A and B are shown apart, each in its own frame.
Chain A
Amino acid sequence: MFSADSTPIRSIIMTTHNPKPGESINGGEALVRALELEGVDVVFGLPGGATLPIYDPILESTMRHILVRHEQGAGHMAQGYAHATGRPGVALVTSGPGATNIVTPLCDAQIDSIPMVCITGQVPYAAIGTDAFQECDTTGITMAATKHNFLVSEAADIPRIVHEAFHIATTGRPGPVLIDVPKDIVDANNPRSAMQWYQAGDADMELPGYHPAGAGDREAIMAAAELIRQAERPVLYVGGGILKARAAESLLELAELTGIPVVTTLMARGAFPDSHELCLGMPGMHGNYTAVTAMQQADLLISLGARFDDRVTGRLDGFAPDAKVVHVDIDEAEIGKVRAVDVGVRGDCKLVIDALIECLAELGGPDAQADRSAWRSKVSGWQEKYPLFYEQSRPGDLLKPQYVVEQLCDLNPADTIVASGVGQHQMYASNFWKFDHPYTWINSGGLGTMGFSIPAAIGAKVGMPDRRVWAIDGDGCFQMTAQELVTASVEQIPIKVALLNNGYLGMVRQWQDLFYEKRFSGVELGPDVPNYVKWAEAMGCVGIRVDSPEEVAPAIAKANEIDDRPVVVEFRTDPEENVFPMVPSGHTNSDVVVHPAQRGE
């Protein structure tokens, strides 16, 4: 029998990392080993009382642990890692405040379908419900913020639950899964942690209610193909699901086969090359005129892994009034949730697109497609008349943020990964950066989490160390999560941050400017405090300040030369600049407002 003060249960894992089936091992070691067996190479975390027993075996693990400065950072890093690599990101935080601090990233990952596994410490099982120190109801709090969560009650369940968690996080519609681990079952000093090791496989999973979608119904796909064949004004409406399904190549084939123009939503930027003649760019509230209007006037929307978000549709009763809808989604609950469909296909986007291509071939291939030449010329007419536009700054004026983004794009390789925060800078980045590769754009689309970019960029760089990673951030966002640049410095993760400092919470300011008679309330941050260059330097980064257009390119070049530490380039930008086009809230997309200089022609 064990007692609480008996010799710690230590096993051979401490030296070999490879326990044999049936070998005595403790739950903490089992957790670490189970993570390794899921292919986890990096864990973003911050320890605490409840996770001490998990952090001990981590010292012997092959996994890299990255010590964050705030648990929110751990969550967004795991998201950035997952966005960039397609592999689930892993975060490890303690009970109570550790868990509550990571709720925002979980919510973010849930709404943007990011695969991640979050492990939270919990007070000992017997103490749950007693309001113990650093206790909170983590599974209760995160129920609506995760795809699924587990509270582990026995050490012996750990390998199975870890395998189930990764399975759920990465299959079907991906999402965050949380495993809440009471301290006693991982504590080498506690008899409740004793277990016999086993490697959990698919056969061990106990998930009788989980059946992720597969290939999609062939009859429905054929019906979709027939609608596509006949459509004279179709648009491929492409969402983040294309990227989750690794379907960018299939999409390219479908678009070229049919000659149908493509819009890529905020979550799908890069899923279809911006340089392609069929690419119309981003639709929605701050989409470009052509993407918005093409959807609005379409006779068929082919929605692939998109969910008719309110930021895309504008006022729903006036959205794409003449369009029939084909909706392909891996999540059946999305089909018809917002907009009634003519054909719904529940399935993996890649498999469904490949089947669509086969069905279109059966229906006669490119020659059998409706004549779309009039549609294409209409679309290119809009592109010509209303391109993305901004006015260059006059000498002595503050920088235009769009110019900074264009310069960044021009002076970096095409496969550079861009991570953005939330606000005006996010819209400038998503519109004015030209994305020609999938998985190069990382942002918080659904939840709109300010402060996302720096930790997400760090996670992306950890996952893709050979790629250049730029965070494009605003000053409001920067102040929310900048402390993770300390993590980046110490861990030698050389990301680059383009800080567009306009001294305001710019997007809120824009709405007050346009819809609240310029009554600016609670939006002024001021450009000078904090001193961003000094702050960057204090965190171990290189800090550079840029005030004028001619300094922009040299500063970017200088930042690109530095590869041994993070760089923050502060660009002083014009607070008066607003994001256009814009569909005012409550209006239909037919009311899209272009840049003032493009109006009244």
Chain B
Amino acid sequence: MKKVLLLAVFALATAVMYAGGYRVSLQGQKSLAMGHTGVAVINSSELVFFNPAGLVYLENKLNISAGVSGVFSNVSYQNEATGAATMTDSPTGTPLYLYASYQANDWLAFGLGVYTPFGSEVAYEDDWAGSHLVNNIELAAIFVQPTVSFKVSDHLSFGGGPIYVIGSVNFNRNLNRTLTDLDGNRAEVTIDASGITKWGWTAGVMFRPTEDLTIGANYRSEIILSAEDGDADFENVPNSPLTPFADTTFDASLPLPAEITVGLSYKFCKKWLFAFDYNRSFWDVYESLDIDWADENIPDSQNLRNYKNASTYRFGLQYEATKMFTLRAGYYFDESPVQAGYFAPETPRNDSNGYTAGLTFNVGDRFQVDASFLYLRFKEVDASYDYYFENGVAAPFGGQYKSNAFVPGLGVTYKM
């Protein structure tokens, strides 16, 4: 059995996976190791994120989980017609989470979560072939979520709570394909905004028809992050009324789409657990990234995105191998919200498959170390962004993209 499992883990590690848009699904090492399933898995305080309704079913009075992942992502671009080729040199992303739940009485539990479900860190070579679309971007959003969970019966519970979001964005691109100063330095703009805040909410339900079968559903609301008076820094702009780009402020908004998840988990053969989650993300809210400069001389920047709603199918398996070790593995298929012709290099996402593995090491009764590994790889794709305009004429930017990411993660769980 161990041998089989070993092979399985190897097989998983060679497979692929990823997340659509700028959604980063790394909200718990236990869940991630199982393909980021969890809407119907009663396992740990990771439920604060996955389904607050389940918190009330946790065995311990106090449950705390915290962890961090290292996102090593790579994007390669090339164009066979021109021979242009580049690779990103993106900084390592470090999404974090901290969850705690407290069982107040038999039917009521409280929880608190801090996590980072959205973000993007992509850095291309400066002045690369698509630099008029993006040189680099850093997008981060921290979610703080107090939660309450009610047990209606041993078969049914509800949970939910408000979400407070603190977001920031830093984005640099060249102003267009050709504008330079006298010395040939490409004219560029950096927009920067931080401390953008907004409220949202989440709610879930959990249904346990039998001891072994759990069914869950969870909804997370849409949150539109609106940056007001962010800083726009224009560099290398020639001194001419024909190029009226001067440092100014900007308004822009970026939607974090609503997401609904339904799923189930099933215990079998005593030590095994199977989980399935289905996510539907309502990305159609992301129609366009519009930047409104305070300086009226600068034409506003409109960047069509036209995302579509997208689904993710997640499968996970857990095996309690020994008293000390619990092993996990998973797979997911993630549908990209990016439609043909809207493939912008700041979020180079096409459909992908994801494979995960991980384990929990029990240190005594109260303390656990959770490790996970995720390997994301996007199929090589020929794609283009067709809605970049020069003097009203579309100048499509396309080529071949190939992306991947490998994400080792480590967490700890404490319960009492």
Do A and B pair up? The answer is no
